[in-house]
Structure formats: C-alpha cells, structure tokens
Amino acid sequence: MSKTAAIIGGGVIGGGWAARFVLNGWNVQVFDPDPQAERKIGEVMANARRSLPGLTDIALPPEGKITYHASIGEAVQGAQWIQESVPERLDIKYATFAEVQSACLKDAVIGSSTSGFKPSELQQGAMRPEQIMVAHPFNPVYLLPLVELVAVNADQALVENAKKILVSIGMHPLHLKKEIDAHVADRFLEAVWREALWLVKDGIATTEEIDNAIRYGFGIRWAQMGLFETYRVAGGEAGMKHFMAQFGPALKWPWTKLMDVPEFTDELVDLIAGQSDAQSGLYSIRELERIRDNNLVTMMRGLKAQDWGAGALLNLQEAEMRAGTVHGAVAADLAADELVETAHRTVPLDWTDYNGHMTESRYLQAFADATDRFMAIIGCDAQYISSGGSYFTAETHIRHLDEVHAGALITIRTRVVMGEGKKMHLWHEMHEGDRLLATGEHFLLHVSLETRKPTPPAPHIEAALVRFAQGHAALAVPEGLGRAIGGSK
C-alpha cells in the first residue's frame, strides 16, 4: 500500500515536511495558494536531496512523488498524514481544519506545525477534535529529527500511529503529556533570544559575538548531551547534587533579564539588522542553507559513529530499513553463485575533497564497511566478535576507475576469491548504475582477539565462507584481480 502525506502550506516548514516524507518514500500532495509554492518547495527539495540521503549508510527507499493541488479537499484525499503549516493565526487554522476534516480520512493523523498554540486551542469547534494534535518540527525539517508531539485530548490510537510514522521517517517524537504555550524547545529559545536582544541593545556584545559564544562553547555541548546531562558531568564524580549545590545560589543573582523584553524600536531593529548584515551578508540565504546543511550532516554523522543523540536515531532508522531486505540477510538467504550486495548507499556531503569528488580515504571506508557487512553475513557479527574471534585486514589494493560525487547512489557487490581455513580473500566492485567506479581487493586473516594471532574461524563461519568461495569460483575472473599497483588503467 502506498503511503501518502498531505502538506497544507508550503513555506519553509511545509516544504521541509514535504522533503522529509518524499525522500523517505511517501507520496506527497501539496496545497498552497501561493503561485510560487512549487518553485519554493522545489528549492527546499533540492537542498534536502543533497543532504538527507547521505546521513545513513544504507540508501533511503525510492523517492515518492510530489503533486500540487488546487484545493485542500483534493490535497488530503487518501492521506494517512496531514500536516498543517499555515500562518500562526487561529482563524486561518480553524478554517483550514474545517476544510481538511470535511474531506480527509477519519483515521488520518492531522498534525499542526504551530510553534505556539496548544492543541486544546486548535481543537476548538473542530468536527473531530480528537484527530488534531501538535506536531511541531525544527528547521530544516528534512534534517533535524525533533518533533514536539503534543496530543492532549487526542485519540490515543492516532497518537501511537503518529509516533510510529515519525520514527519510520527518522524523526524523534517528543511526546508531551501536558500542554503549555510554545511547548518545550521554543521556551528555551525565547529565553536565550530575550537575553541576546538585551546584550545587543546595551552594547555588551554584537550579533556575531553572541553567535560565537554559542557555537564555540555551550552550543556544541548541547548538541550531544543537552542541558541536564551536560550539568551532571560538570558536577564531577559527585554528580548533579554537587552541581546544584555549587551553582544553585547563582540563580538568585540578578544576572539575566529573562522576564523583560526590550522595546522593539526602529533603532534596535536597525542595529541588529545592520550587525547581522555585516556578519553574514556576504552569503545569500541559499548559500547559508547549504553551509548549515553541510555542517549538520557532518555533526550528525559524527554522532552516528558514536551511536549517540541524533546519531543513535539514524542507526535505529538504518536497522529498520535493513530488516526484511537483502541488507539484513544472512548467508543461507543468499545464492552462493552470485555476487553478494554488501552496500547500497548515498555518498554523503562530507566524503568529498577539494576536487569535488569522493576523497580516496572514503573509498577505503566504503569497501571496509562492505567487508564488515560480508563478515556479518557469514556469521562474524557483533555477537561472534564479542566472543573473541574476528578478521583482521592484512593487505588492500584499491583501483579508482571513475569519479564519484556527493549524492551518488553507489552499490558494492562482493565475491569471495578464496575462503579456507584462516584466510579470506575478497573482491569488491563499486558501481553507480552500470558504471564501474572502483574495485577493492582485500586479504584478511581470522584471529583470536585474546592472543591477536591467526586462528581458525568457527565451523559455521568457515562453512559459509567456503560455500561462497565455491559458488563464486564459477564466475568469470574480473579484470584487475591480483594486479599490482601501476597496472590499473
């Protein structure tokens, strides 16, 4: 069954939702009266296509189809998820929900991107109030995983379905059981924003200096540990109690102006706008978006390697995508006389070099990941390795045959040249479509992790390896196998 989402309002947030759904294999139906909506969403989609697919080490599902519709009623037809991202005015939202509910499925999730209104406010006068909930994302929606899901008085089955859908598209539903104005995250942001306005107004710091205080200091800490866990670490071995005892009294000091807002005079607006132009005016908005996305992808992939924070969500999404596919198969599931698909992924933004193509170290990483996947297929998985056995690479030869760029969808297929006793000789071929990009030849030895010396593998691993080696022996010998350096074209 095809999955369909309806996007009502195609601005920055609505366009981000559209991209998140489309790139995760959903069909998306858009309504927006703005005649420029298709162009604007197209630009958001272009940014999303160059960044989101590279977050995971397995390819996202085939891209869904995006269509534009002349009415809300048309857009919501058959949609399982309906996301409202219209302007922050209750009268507009009420009118929108009325049109949505007159035409949508009764069991569809209706989420609102509102950053301030409570669900009880949105539900007033609705045909089916229990169908409406807050699903507040963060920009860029196609990269940042957080969604504040506020579902007071909502149908619990719909709430559980909403959470399931959000997780399936790589997002983290922060399910709030109580409603409050501005939810959770924006209340923090507003406090920081108020203080920043005072610091600029009073001449204490410029916009650039304030941004530097965040991005060179606590912003990095917050990105991977949040607030309370950061302070727990600051408490040392004594933990949070020690931190609160040491810094609690500071809360009584009149340092901040969190309850006061400076008047938005023309002078203050001009001061901040002028400083902001001096700070970032040499970049267009689209250039800043691409810089932002490049940095977010790099940071999130770093967290992914540590299986922490937003990176842990990516690993969870990958595990779900592998389940039930060839990428989650074991040796018994695969034909022995065919090359084994060991990678199918998009080249991420941070894998390119100064020449604009994939840097040479990433070829090795891609092939090493393919080797790891093949090891798991034959039974040398995390559980086996924890018992004390594994394979070490003794020799590698990579041939770079054609250019690979960020965003390329690459597939690696693996053959066993030799597999007997302690030895494993693998040949990897990297393709983009029919184009051969590179080959990797790798010789590995099975070792005991206790002695760090070669030892025979477990019988079930050797049997799986021999099965592939015998099956692949009947295949044509690939060009370049065993070739010394300098012999490649």
Q: Give per-residue pLDDT as tens, 139-177.
A: 999 999 999 999 999 999 999 999 999 999 999 999 998
Structure tokens at 22: 């489309």
* The amino acid at 286: R
Lowest-confidence range among 56-70, 149-163, 237-251? 237-251
pLDDT score at 328: 80
Residue 485 dihedral angles phi and psi, to the nearest 5°: -60, 140
pLDDT score at 408: 94
Other beta carbons within 10 Å of 225: 15
pLDDT score at 7: 98
Reduced to 3 states (helix: H, G, I; strand: E, B; else coil), residue 354 is coil
Contacts 24+ apart (CB under 8 A), 313-319: 313/145, 313/170, 313/171, 313/172, 314/55, 314/56, 314/170, 316/167, 317/56, 317/167, 317/168, 317/170, 318/56, 318/57, 318/58
The pLDDT confidence band at residue 257, using thresholds 50, 70 and 90, is confident
The whole-angstrom separation of Cα 35 and Cα 12 is 15
Asked if residues 401 and 436 have their Cβ atoms less than 8 Å apart, the reply is yes
| Per-residue buried b or exposed e for 20-49, using 16+ beta carbons within 10 Å of the residue's own CB | bbbbbbbbbbbbbeeeebeebbeebbebbb
Q: Are strands 409-420 and 146-150 parallel, antiparallel or unpaired?
A: unpaired
Mean pLDDT over residues 297-309, rounded? 94
Structure tokens at 249: 């009294």
The pLDDT confidence band at residue 1, using thresholds 50, 70 and 90, is low
Which part of the chain has CATH 1.10.1040.10? 185-282
Asked if residues 342 and 82 have their Cβ atoms less than 8 Å apart, the reply is no
Q: Where would I find the H helices in 264-327?
A: 266-280, 285-305, 310-322
Report the share of the chain in percent with pLDDT over 90. 82
Beta bridge partners of 390: 447
Nearest CA-CA partner of 144 in 299, 296, 303, 312: 296
Structure tokens at 76: 């919501």
The whole-angstrom separation of Cα 195 and Cα 198 is 5
The pLDDT confidence band at residue 359, using thresholds 50, 70 and 90, is very high
Lowest-confidence range among 99-103, 181-185, 253-257, 485-489? 485-489
Which part of the chain has CATH 3.10.129.10? 326-472
Structure tokens at 243: 């931190």
Asked if residues 143 and 300 have their Cβ atoms less than 8 Å apart, the reply is yes
Q: What is the CATH number of domain 326-472?
A: 3.10.129.10
Across the beta sheet with 340-346, what order do the strands follow? 340-346, 409-420, 423-432, 435-448, 389-400
pLDDT score at 314: 94
The whole-angstrom separation of Cα 379 and Cα 394 is 20
Mean pLDDT over residues 340-348, rounded? 95
| Backbone CA torsion sign across 21, 23, 24, 28 | positive
Nearest CA-CA partner of 350 in 286, 294, 403: 294
pLDDT score at 58: 93
Which part of the chain has CATH 3.40.50.720? 4-176
Q: Alpha-carbon dihedral of residues 197, 202, 206, 207, nearest 10 degrees?
A: 10
pLDDT at 196 over 70: yes
The pLDDT confidence band at residue 324, using thresholds 50, 70 and 90, is confident
Average predicted confidence (pLDDT) for the chain: 93
Mean pLDDT over residues 114-142, rounded? 96
The pLDDT confidence band at residue 401, using thresholds 50, 70 and 90, is very high
Asked if residues 114 and 143 have their Cβ atoms less than 8 Å apart, the reply is no
The whole-angstrom separation of Cα 406 and Cα 318 is 20
Q: In CATH terms, is domain 185-282 a member of 3.30.70.100? A: no
Higher pLDDT, 488 or 469: 469
Domain 4-176: which CATH class? alpha beta
Question: To 10 degrees, what angle do helices 285-305 and 310-322 make?
Answer: 70
Q: Are strands 146-150 and 172-176 parallel, antiparallel or unpaired?
A: parallel
pLDDT at 322 over 90: no
The whole-angstrom separation of Cα 466 and Cα 470 is 6
The whole-angstrom separation of Cα 446 and Cα 390 is 6
